[in-house]
Amino acid sequence: MVPVDYYVILSAVLFAIGAMGVLSRRNPLIIFMSIELMLNAGNLAFVAFSNMYKTFNGQIFVFFVIAVAAAEVAVGLALIVEIFKTKKSINIDEMNSLKG
Amino acid sequence: MTQPEYTEYYTILPLIILVIWACLLLLVDLFIPKDRKGITGFLAAMGLALTLGYSISQIGREGTGFNGMVVLDGFSTFINILILISGLLGISLAYGYVKRMGIERGEYYTLLLFSVTGMMLMAQAADLIIVFLALELLSIPLYVLAAFARPNLQSEEAGVKYFLLGAFATGFVVYGTALVFGATGQTSFSGIFSAASGGTSGLLLTIGAALILVGFGFKVAAVPFHMWTPDVYQGSPTAVTAFMSSGAKIAGFAALLRVFATAFPALSADLTNILWVLAALTMIVGNLTAISQTNIKRMLAYSSIAHAGYILMAFVPYGNKDVTSISIAAGLFYLVTYVLTNFGTWAVVIALEKAEGRGLEIADYAGIAKKYPALAAAMTVFMLSFIGFPPTLGMVGKFYLFRAVIAGGYSGLAIIGVVTSLVSAYYYLRVVVNMYMREGDPVLEQESWLGLTTAFTAILTVALSFVPQWLFLLASTAVFRLF
């Protein structure tokens, strides 16, 4: 059996890649994919720990995360489509109409 | 696992009422003609008032439900009542505003109700699963509300930015929760508490708690996780800004207070320093950046960051058992102060805002005192309350906070608080100076609900400052049973 540490390390790597992606990419869709990667890193850790402790709590949490992430996708994509209709561009660097 | 008892449903009955009301409202809204969506607003306010009535009747009742997932106690009832009042004030600000700005659509009020539900669930959460669910339930409607003025580009930008940063913060909360679960094998606060006191795998638990803190830091706009705040507050429709700057903060701080006080007291040695730095940075950066702002919405956004710093001060002594209850009570008291003053200020801003974002510069406030003396007086009260000047609630709130922090042995933080308050006087008083000492010809939107909200919050801000013990006693009883 693969030890739980491996899963946790993998999830930490995934989380770090996701966080870096959010901070460095300029396309909202890719940023969004990176956020999903962060959430899935959490899911992986949850399932691994859940297996380690032999409880279902972690797995239940994963279901909640998946369901809520789906709702978030619906809202997020709608927002991105909406701004594309107005601006004809979704580059984050060009979203600069708010300044002070 | 057991089936929930009948009585357990009473613990979340306010939430059930509100969710059912919001779902029915979605249907009813279909039959309300397009030009009379104000009716939807009234119905939504009725739902909030009904829930508020029931929540008030819950004062003094306690219980847990659903295998310890949700809890009803003095703390949650206090926060729930505050959130419901914010919801009502939020609707009263939006009622005329959305009509005037041509964004009067029925979903506005339904989304607001769902968001309020999420905030209340946050206050009642006793398990990290529920914290996560509540966080999303309150945030997702707010993302939509921020972009509600579409196809206005600024509002859409605010929506996208809020969404991306909010989802990013959610990632931190989820991963932090996963690590806490990994360290303790529990997701319920009481389970984490007993596992953590037993001294199991400290590092994983600390990292998990810190990640949760980062996630909530985004939500309550604490420095260095605040960069979205000015843009989102400026771009969103002003009525939405008023609601989210109050409601999301109450809920975020309520969850933080409960999580830290009931689940992570064992980590206080590690986290207190982080919280200290976070609070100090938030106060300093928020207040200093606000000075250079010329747009009132942006200035108030930085001021809301600064006030998040003051409320964060209440967390710093949380590991010190003798001080925890008075510092948390002081935090709750300051939340009430902040909510009243905040809504009042935004009501004035909305009253002076014109279409296409005009009337939002601080310079546009010139000459108000001559033309509308009552409004200028109210705005002066709010500004003084934000500074913490007597005779306003803000002064009492800061007094309780500083007292609690000093009692906890963090005089340095209290000094930073006092100094930054003095700095804040500069930009708050600039608004007052503009109103009283410059010539100008502002035009006010005369709306009865706006006027009522302004008067209500201004009178409470002054009146409560003469009987603060009463409110502080309420806050203290609310936290009494938390531990």
**A99 in a domain, yes or no?**
no
Residues B36/B38/B42/B43 CA torsion (nearest 10 deg) = 50
- A92 — pLDDT class (breaks 50, 70, 90): confident
**A98 in a domain, yes or no?**
no
Number of domains in chain A: 1
Tokens coding B285: 């950066």
Nearest to B175 among A42, A76, A80 (CB): A42
Q: Other C-beta atoms within 10 Å of B196: how many?
A: 23
Do A100 and B177 lie within an 8 Å CB cutoff?
no
Interface check for A24 against chain B (CB to CB < 8 A): the answer is no
B138 vs B414: CA distance, rounded Å? 32
Contact B272, B210 (CB under 8 A): no
Question: Which residue of A11, A27, A36, A61 is the best one to mutate when testing the B interface, meaning the one whose CB has the most B CBs within 10 A?
Answer: A61
B110 vs B265: CA distance, rounded Å? 38
Inter-CA distances, B482 with A33, B7, B197, B259, B346, Å: 39, 21, 17, 11, 33
Chain B positions contacting chain A at CB under 8 Å are 128-129, 132-133, 136, 140, 143-144, 147, 150-151, 153-154, 156-161, 163-164, 167-168, 170-172, 174-175, 177-179, 181-182, 185-187, 230-231, 234-235, 293-295, 298
- The chain A residue lying nearest B296, using CA atoms, is A100
Residue B65: what pLDDT? 85
Do A79 and B293 lie within an 8 Å CB cutoff?
no
Residue B1: what pLDDT? 52
Query: Which is nearest to B108 in space by CA: B118, B97, B121, B122?
Result: B97
**A100 in a domain, yes or no?**
no
Query: B337-374 burial, b if ≥16 CB within 10 A, otherwise e?
Result: bbbbbbbbbbbbbbbbbeeebebbebebbbbbbeebee
Query: Which is nearest to B89 in space by CA: B387, B432, B458, B372?
Result: B458
Residue B200: what pLDDT? 57
Contact A14, A40 (CB under 8 A): yes
Do B170 and A39 lie within an 8 Å CB cutoff?
yes
Do A61 and B151 lie within an 8 Å CB cutoff?
no
**Cα-only R_g, chain A:** 17
Contacts of A45 in chain B (CB under 8 A): 175, 178-179, 181-182
Is the torsion defined by CA of B294, B295, B300, B305 positive or negative? negative
Task: Name the packing angle between helices B448-463 and B321-352 (round to 10°).
Answer: 150
Q: What's the angle, vertex CA B247, arms to CA B118 and CA B473, rounded to 5?
A: 105
Contacts of A18 in chain B (CB under 8 A): 171
Q: What is the DSSP string of A19-32?
A: HHHHHH---HHHHH
Is the torsion defined by CA of B173, B178, B184, B190 positive or negative? positive
A87 in helix, strand or coil?
helix
End-to-end Cα spacing for chain A: 56
Chain A to chain B Cβ contacts (< 8 Å):
137
Contacts of A8 in chain B (CB under 8 A): 182
**A18 in a domain, yes or no?**
yes
Question: Which residue of A14, A68, A77 is the best one to mutate when testing the B interface, meaning the one whose CB has the most B CBs within 10 A?
Answer: A68
Contacts of A83 in chain B (CB under 8 A): 147, 153, 156-157, 159-160
Interface check for A97 against chain B (CB to CB < 8 A): the answer is yes
| Residues forming beta bridges with residue B65, ordered by sequence position | B70
Residue B483: what pLDDT? 61
Is the torsion defined by CA of B3, B9, B11, B17 positive or negative? positive
What are the φ and ψ backbone dihedral angles of B70, each rounded to 5 degrees? -120, 155
CATH of the domain at A78: 1.10.287.3510
Interface check for A53 against chain B (CB to CB < 8 A): the answer is yes
Tokens coding B195: 């596992």
Q: What's the angle, vertex CA B74, arms to CA B73 and CA B79, rounded to 5?
A: 100
Distance of CA A67 to the CA centre of its chain: 13
pLDDT along chain B (483 residues), means of 10: 74 94 95 91 96 92 88 93 97 93 92 96 94 95 94 92 95 95 91 80 86 94 92 95 95 92 84 92 95 94 96 87 87 95 95 86 90 94 94 93 92 94 94 91 87 95 92 86 66
Contacts of B150 in chain A (CB under 8 A): 82, 86
B108 vs B120: CA distance, rounded Å? 19
**A69 in a domain, yes or no?**
yes
**A22 in a domain, yes or no?**
yes
Query: Which is nearest to B70 in space by CA: B135, B142, B26, B125?
Result: B125
Query: Which is nearest to B82 in space by CA: B447, B383, B462, B460?
Result: B460
B150 vs B103: CA distance, rounded Å? 8
Residues B207/B208/B212/B218 CA torsion (nearest 10 deg) = 40
A39 vs A98: CA distance, rounded Å? 29
Which residue in this structure is represented by tokens 């992430």? A69
**What is the identity of the amino acid at B308?**
A
Instruction: Give the domain range for residue A88.
Output: 4-93
Query: Which is nearest to B381 in space by CA: B331, B340, B353, B420?
Result: B340
Question: Which residue of B66, B155, B157 is the best one to mutate when testing the A interface, meaning the one whose CB has the most A CBs within 10 A?
Answer: B157
Q: How far is A21 from chain B (nearest CA, A)?
A: 11
